[in-house]
Structure 1
Amino acid sequence: MTRIAAAEPGPGFSAVLFDCDGVLVDSELITVRLIAEMLGELGWEISEEEAVRTFIGRALVDEWEVIFEHTGVRITEEWIHAFHVRRDDALRDSVRPIPGAEQMLAEIADRFGDRIALASGADRVKITMQLTVTGLGRWFGDRVFSGMEQARSKPAPDVYLAAAAALGVNAATALVVEDTVAGVTAGAAAGATVFAYSPDSPVSTDREALRTAGAAHVFSDMAELPGLVDEWGARLAS
């Protein structure tokens, strides 16, 4: 594993495991608009809000049944590939870090050293490209995990369990930072404490839905996270 300067674990939490899309990189609206566009080409005039509820945080290939139900089309590997190509082109041109993410990662890395990891439900090509374009990859080194490389992707807990195991920590003692119902469900199923990021955005998941899925806390400003980690970690340690 890639090592950052040594640091003692933050009080209470053994590690922090981050989702990528919508948590570290501002990609969700770009992706949602493309999903809506391509489903429209198949005959499903889906709104961006419905696309968020139905697809964000989940592997598109796993949602073939709902697409078939609305279009009569069984999406193929070729269709998925075309989506990935168009998606990655759009992201390469436009993706940016979530506001406050760079400073937040600097502060979290100062507290946790190499006990931070990225655990995304996306494919590795997309993850790597976004981390490279935004410059955020320097915080994670090779501590980057793709749900597509696990037996099951989110909302199953596999990618979070794999990340925790690679860091040598118990997932039940880790903090997961997510932004979707599927992701929160995955983190909670891994036994972790889950914080859900939900800014004031048209593609943000409903906050009550995040709490229902298992989020212990919902926050709206990434600058809040280091303080929340300290506050909750101290509470857990007491």
Structure 2
Amino acid sequence: MPRLNPMIKSKIPLSWSMHIYTHIAWPCCHALGVMKAIIFDMDGVLVDTMPSHFQAMRTAVAEIAEIDLKERTFYMLEGMPVMEMARKILDLEANKIRKGVLNLSTLAEKISMRKKEIFMQMKKIPEPFSGVRELIFECPRTCLKAVVTGSSKQELDTIIENNFGSNAFTVAINGDEFEGKGKPDPAAYLAALSRLGVPSTNALVVENAPLGVQAARRAGVKCIVVLNSSPLSASDFSESIENESYIFKDIGAVSGLLKKWCAAAES
């Protein structure tokens, strides 16, 4: 079972922080000057959008299927395309669906459309989590940054432009590019590596969802988890996280280590 990183428990001495940094099996450069890259998931890692996504899906599922969607169920399925997630929810709750209703595929399609409609009506531009802007702008330029999301191009562009500026990330990949290939499919992360021109051994993914961790692993990239506002715990990642990966309470708890890892590319 993965162990929650001790850094989240309290403010720790600098010496302990350096000890952790030097002993974690972080991916590293094999030659001086080799470029590195951090690939960030967007929703739940950079910006606090997940509560709104959950509320929209919960409302849609309740309206159309008369099912009370549990928060943990939603977060465990995060990263799936909306219609695929809706179908999975219906499969899990099949015994609660009234007989004689539409077949599950049709029901899932209706839920997907309604969820997207509700979310768009919210018209919220989310704020980044505390410490995210500093991390993005203070990382050395020799460390490339990418963002990968299952959200639409319109949503991605709006969030990035309003919170970070259009030049903050070298590569930005949205869900419209990989329709039907949500996490744990590694396609989006493989595309990010290709466009960055960085080998998987020199990249690091920052995720918040079990399916996202699986996608990163299938792409051959080391992954760390930041829980931020997620209701999930370390035990929820027991089947997806590898030994070299670590789980942190929030982005602030790992920001210093990420900056040090990036800075090594300048050595």
TM-score of the aligned structures, taking structure 1 as reference length = 0.79
RMSD (Å) for aligned C-alpha atoms: 3.0
Give a deviation string over 1:100-136, Cα, whole Å, max 9, x none.
Answer: 111111122x2535x2111112222222222234345
Deviation at 1:228, TM superposition (A): 1.7
Contact 1:11–1:233, Cα closer than 8 Å, also in 2: no
Deviation at 1:96, TM superposition (A): 1.3
Deviation at 1:233, TM superposition (A): 6.8
Higher relative contact order (CA 8 A, sep 6+): 2
**C-alpha distance in 2 between matches for 1:148 and 1:182:** 18
Match of 2:241 in 1: 214
Give a deviation string over 1:136-167, Cα, whole Å, max 9, x none.
Answer: 544126x1112441372211111011011001
Match of 1:84 in 2: 116
Match of 1:193 in 2: 222
Match of 2:37 in 1: 15
Identity of counterpart residues, as a percentage? 23
Give a deviation string over 1:21-43, Cα, whole Å, max 9, x none.
Answer: 00001001111111111111121
Match of 2:71 in 1: 48
Correspondence 1:159 to 2:188 = yes
Deviation at 1:230, TM superposition (A): 5.1
Change (3 A) 1:235 1:209: farther
Match of 1:100 in 2: 131
**C-alpha distance in 1 between matches for 2:114 and 2:251:** 33
Deviation at 1:56, TM superposition (A): 2.0
Contact 1:33–1:48, Cα closer than 8 Å, also in 2: no
**C-alpha distance in 2 between matches for 1:22 and 1:11:** 26
Could you tell me which of 145, 169, 176 is aligned with 2:173? Answer: 145
**C-alpha distance in 2 between matches for 1:233 and 1:100:** 16
Could you tell me which of 210, 229, 234 is aligned with 2:258? Answer: 229
Contact 2:125–2:159, Cα closer than 8 Å, also in 1: no
Could you tell me which of 52, 61, 76 is aligned with 2:83? Answer: 61
**C-alpha distance in 2 between matches for 1:175 and 1:137:** 22
Match of 1:30 in 2: 52
Contact 2:45–2:226, Cα closer than 8 Å, also in 1: yes
Structure 2: runs of 5+ lacking an equivalent: 1-26, 30-34
SS in 2 for 1:139: coil
**C-alpha distance in 2 between matches for 1:209 and 1:136:** 34
**C-alpha distance in 2 between matches for 1:172 and 1:233:** 13
SS in 2 for 1:49: helix
Structure 1: runs of 5+ lacking an equivalent: 1-9
Contact 2:28–2:201, Cα closer than 8 Å, also in 1: no
2:252 maps to a residue whose letter is A
1:16 maps to a residue whose letter is I
Contact 2:79–2:150, Cα closer than 8 Å, also in 1: yes
**C-alpha distance in 1 between matches for 2:232 and 2:141:** 29
**C-alpha distance in 2 between matches for 1:116 and 1:83:** 30
Tell which structure's C-alpha radius of gyration is larger.
2
Greater shift in the superposed pair: 211-220 or 159-168: 211-220
Contact 1:58–1:154, Cα closer than 8 Å, also in 2: yes
TM-score of the aligned structures, taking structure 2 as reference length = 0.72
Greater shift in the superposed pair: 92-101 or 75-84: 75-84
**C-alpha distance in 2 between matches for 1:162 and 1:178:** 17
Give a deviation string over 1:175-199, Cα, whole Å, max 9, x none.
Answer: 0000000111111111111010013
